[in-house]
Copies of this chain bind each other. A is one copy, B any other.
Amino acid sequence: MVDYATSGVSLDRASEAKKLIAKAAQTTFTPQVLRDVGHFGGFFALGDSPTADVLVASTDGVGTKILLGLQLDMLDGLGRDLVHHSINDILVCGARPLFFLDYMAFGRLDVEIAGRIAESLAAGCREHGVALIGGETAEMPGLYRESDFDLAGTIVGIVQKDKILDGSKVVEGDVLIGLPSSGLHTNGYSLARKVLEDKIAAGTLKTTRLSDGQSLAQALMEPHRCYLKVFGDLLTHSGLHALSHITGGGIEDNTMRVVPKGLHLQIDWGSWTRPELFEVIQKHGEVAEAEMRRAMNLGVGLIAIVAAERSNEFIALLGKREPAAFIMGHVSA
């Protein structure tokens, strides 16, 4: 039986570190900082009025999906992964993206790989109207193994102060609407790699097929889906109370970040068909259901929390761009 701890990642250590960092960060807050650290993005107001522009920023990496990409020589989606993940993180705050900066660090700088990653970053940016205005490419022999590299980035977006989505509008009875993910996105790869280490070692990820004919390698490296275009104008729909981006921590932990204290989530785990990739990982590694729920998105990439009386209207509007959106639960007292 494989779990996250076996794979070398501790969610408890992560949570402890986050607390220490948030405490240190709070000592730096100026009146322009609107929310505590810990939301999907950080909020910095450019003015005092209720309709002032607020910058929303988020830094993230693609995690150990890189190592799988290196093992499979499938690196071309990683830039897109990072940009899409980042756009989603500020989208769920109600913000639209302005610009992006990347950080690439190599043991031995591989010019060809750096160029491929940059092209993938630029493709994700172009498609969503985000300007890639800078970055840093570091060569650090001794810190990274020669062939390894790390990739992270920072996005900055903008939202009007009175249009911020931060969960404060969420009330009992609100409906949870799920949007399908395109795979693991950028979370749970340490666990997935541990589970599949026999297939990775044997080099059979590219020849093992899912029932739709896609190889396990393709399914695993499928880029993180971006939900910016799906939402479009719906981002300011008055029935939309909050959005949650399903990343590390899974459906419950991430959605609880935008649910006020005292309220709970009632999730109907049987309301959608879990994609085969997750079933394969769970079965092959005998991963406990609780661990799967904590580590992976299980087929749900983003959740909209919508006023109950507006949920049919919202799904109908959403359905024009995402017919597969579905009701997956509600908020309870």
The distance in angstroms between the C-alpha atoms of A138 and B137, with both chains bound, is 19
Q: What does the 1/0 interface line of A34-46 toward B look like (CB < 8 Å)?
A: 0001000111101
Closest CB pairs A-B (n = 9): A42-B133, A8-B141, A42-B134, A20-B115, A154-B154, A24-B122, A24-B118, A28-B125, A21-B118
Q: Does A121 contact B24, Cβ atoms closer than 8 Å?
A: yes
- Pick from A55-63, A220-228, A315-323 the stretch touching chain B: A55-63
In the complex, 27 of the A-B residue pairs with CB atoms within 8 angstroms, ordered by the A residue number, are A8-B108, A16-B111, A17-B114, A20-B118, A21-B114, A21-B115, A21-B137, A24-B121, A25-B135, A30-B129, A30-B131, A33-B99, A33-B133, A41-B134, A42-B101, A42-B134, A43-B133, A44-B133, A46-B46, A55-B55, A60-B136, A61-B103, A63-B138, A103-B152, A141-B190, A143-B144, A156-B156
Chain B CB within 8 A of A76 CB: no
Q: Establish whether residues A114 and B20, one from each chain, have CB atoms under 8 Å apart when the complex forms.
A: yes
Contact (Cβ within 8 A) B57 A46: no
Contacts of A102 in B (CB 8 A): 59
Q: Bound complex: CA of A222 vs CA of B149, how far in Å?
A: 28
Number of residues of chain A lying within 8 A (CB) of chain B: 77
Q: A33-B131, A44-B99, A57-B134 given as contacts; is B190 within 8 A of A140 (CB)?
A: yes
Using Cβ atoms and an 8 Å threshold, which residues of chain B touch A137? 14, 17-18, 21
Interchain CB contact under 8 A, B143 and A67 = yes
A98 interface residue per 8 A CB criterion: yes
Q: Given A42-B133, A44-B99, check contact A7 B141 (CB 8 Å).
A: yes
User: Which residues of B are found within 8 Å of A281, using beta-carbon distances?
Assistant: none
Chain A contact surface mostly = mixed
Chain B: minimal CB distance from A51 (Å)? 15
Expressed in whole angstroms, the Cα–Cα distance for A34 and B129 within the complex equals 16
A276 is an interface residue with CB less than 8 A from chain B = no
* Contact present for A131 and B44 (CB under 8 Å): yes
Quote the shortest CB–CB distance from A195 to chain B (angstroms): 14
B-side contacts of A16, CB under 8 Å: 111
Contacts of A172 in B (CB 8 A): none
* CB-defined contacts of A103 to chain B, threshold 8 Å: 59, 61, 103, 152, 154
